[in-house]
Amino acid sequence: MPNLDVKIPPMGESITSGILAKWHVKDGDVVKKDQALFELETDKITSESTAEAAGTITLKAAAGDEVKIGQVVAQIDPEARDQKPEARPVPSSDPPASGLQPRSSESPASDPPAKTPTTAKAKAAVPAAPLPAPASTPASAPKVSTPTGARQTRRKLTPLRQRIAERLVAAQHEAAMLTTFNEVDMSAIVAIRAKYQDDFVKKNGLKLGFMSFFIKAVVHGLKEVPALNAQLDGDTLVENHYYDIGVAVSTERGLMVPVIRDCATLGLAAIEKAIAGTAAKAREGKIALTDLEGGVFTITNGGIFGSLLSTPIINPPQSAILGMHTIQDRPVAVNGQVVIRPMMYVALSYDHRVVDGREAVTFLVKVKQALEDPTRLLLNF
């Protein structure tokens, strides 16, 4: 049976190459069918490739190499899958001369050669000469510390990181980006989560988070202010009538934005499950290009890292992005009284070429109202 070529799989029409980021196997390993072989990083996603058959694998490319779509990076020999590598014979050493013990194979090659018995006796008869006293070091001499490691590490940016950098710079150069801020009293949502969390976990197998509330509030805002659900395509304004919301996910390889589809028709539990599934795929490097395409609006949550306030950058070709931040107990005035409430700053960055300031502020107020009084989401006002 001929050897099976392991090739870089097609990743989409716009992707022609990538970086072979990591091998999960070593040269000469016996692999099983569907076993993970390597990770490929492109300018859009990181994906994992598996073995199409069992056998012994021979690697043709090294981790870190730039590879083309369709390039052969390994071969699998199906006939060798049950063979075990033969034990290599250990070379016999010559018998030791003059009755000396053989030299240990673990001794460093730089050890001095063994001495003959005659030489050893002669040296033993000579009394050891006293060592000269060490020269005294002046007390004022400074101690020079030797660095224990490199002061810098240089490595080439991955295609994904390069692509992220290009898109962020392009967003700032091409869009007339502006940010408006507000703050949200999270008391109602905190109370809902505290009251129903146990029942929600028992029924759905995962926790009720904050993101699902924000996604529903954003959908509500987009329906109320459709200008936020539009984007420029050259000199054409494209108005979207669907609600696929991107959720920014931080991974070891960079920021990814998987898209949750049809959020207008999903309940909180379905949204939480979709978020958990796509986020796990993104962090494990198993996300597909289709998971990242087609979003109309993005939400990013810097609060999970402790950010109190920031100005998010829009995700082209979208026209707006909402930034969530950490929840912090703060004194606020309610009905003329100062009370302590769990407050969150929110930031809306938008493309002023598409969205006017009045529309941006109105949208953010609608989101704020829906979060502070979630009943509005049920009554649709």
352 is known as an active-site residue: yes
C-alpha angle 351-248-314 in degrees, rounded to nearest 5: 10
CA 73, CA 140: separation in Å to the nearest integer? Answer: 61
User: Which residue among 34, 65, 82, 352 is the active-site one?
Assistant: 352
User: Which residue among 34, 198, 199, 356 is the active-site one?
Assistant: 356
List, by residue number, the catalytic residues: 352, 356
